[in-house]
Structure 1
Amino acid sequence: MHLHLRPARPADTGVIAAVARESWHAAYGDFLSTVTIDETVDAWYDPVDLREQVEEGAFVVAVDEERPESDDIVAFAHAVVASDGTRPTLTRLYARESYWGSGVGTQLLHRVVADLDTDAGHEFLSALVFANNAVGRGFYESHGFEVVGRRTEAFDGNDHEELILRAPLDTLAE
């Protein structure tokens, strides 16, 4: 496997949404319904909105150059600094299930941290993960993220606990 990381482009939005959908079903299918996952991905990865988001913060995709399809995106990550300039946040990090454990998530995490426009006052990167997403929790824990809070998010009429995580930016740089 030979992965190439590059900035996301507006033309990538359809593939980014497909990767998100596949990853959501694999990671959240045990506790969110198929309908809820599909409706959420449709809303959160709306092509018009996603094209705008590609231009915000650090949005990076991983392309597996050994796959027969040209420019086949297999994972992506997006990080932004809050609009008030106070808080760098990893908003998305998803990979096709067949790439879990391959190191692509680590590569993307390091790259978005390096690409994110932070300043000396920014010490931590924040992230959210479902409490019952063992794969996601394990990934973040292995990269030094610690739980600093909890919140409840409603999906399809059911409450789901999310963990608020943060890690020192200087430990996440390439």
Structure 2
Amino acid sequence: MEYIIRKMNEEDIKEVQKVAGTSWNHTYKDIIPIEVQEKFLRSAYSDEMMQRRLKHTLMYVVVVDGKIVGFANFSRVDDSGIAELFAIYIYPEYQGKGIGTSLLKEGINNLENVKEIYMNVEKDNNNGKTFYNSKGFEVVSHVDEDFDGYILKTIRMVLRV
């Protein structure tokens, strides 16, 4: 399968919001109650938040046959060489095809002077944990977070580049 990775632009916002919603609902259907998911998605992927992400972070989209099928969102590197991976979301039918790996590499290659990339994954998100472990991320902590009244079991991981 051929795909293109490019920087996200403003015209991509609606498609990226669809990818986020579909992949979140698929990934967390048996982990996080749907009403909690929907509230999070409305906030984290609102038009205003997407504009902010475009302005202040690095966002990449994956395009297959003219359609966005996934995206990744990285913070920029601070003075100590630390960056954050906020999201790699891909439509379920496109997962397991190397797209996530390519998105991660794209971010690493474009984060100047990066030494460490941190990210969070939910303890019961086995596909996510397997992916990040296979890419060399290591667990640094476990945290219980109040996620709109739902206790999320978060694993904090780091990739040393």
TM-score bucket (shorter structure): over 0.9
RMSD across aligned positions (CA): 1.4
| Pairing partner for 2:92 from 90, 97, 100 | 97
Distance 1:108 1:124 in 2: 16
Amino acid at match of 1:19: V
DSSP-derived class of the 2:56 partner:
coil
Percent pairwise identity:
26
Amino acid at match of 1:50: M
Matched residue, 2:56: 56
In structure 1, stretches of 5+ residues that fail to align are 66-70, 170-174
Moved over 3 A (4+): none
Give the drift of 1:153.
1.6
Structure 2 residue 151 is matched with structure 1 residue 151: no
DSSP-derived class of the 2:55 partner:
coil
Structure 2 residue 153 is matched with structure 1 residue 161: yes
Amino acid at match of 1:101: G
| Pairing partner for 1:78 from 73, 78, 85 | 73
Matched residue, 2:9: 9
Matched residue, 1:126: 118
Matched residue, 1:109: 104
Range that drifts further, 44-53 or 101-110: 44-53
Range that drifts further, 84-93 or 134-143: 84-93
Task: Check whether the contact 1:79–1:113 (CA below 8 A) recurs between aligned residues.
Answer: no
Distance 1:107 1:92 in 2: 14
Aligned residues: 160
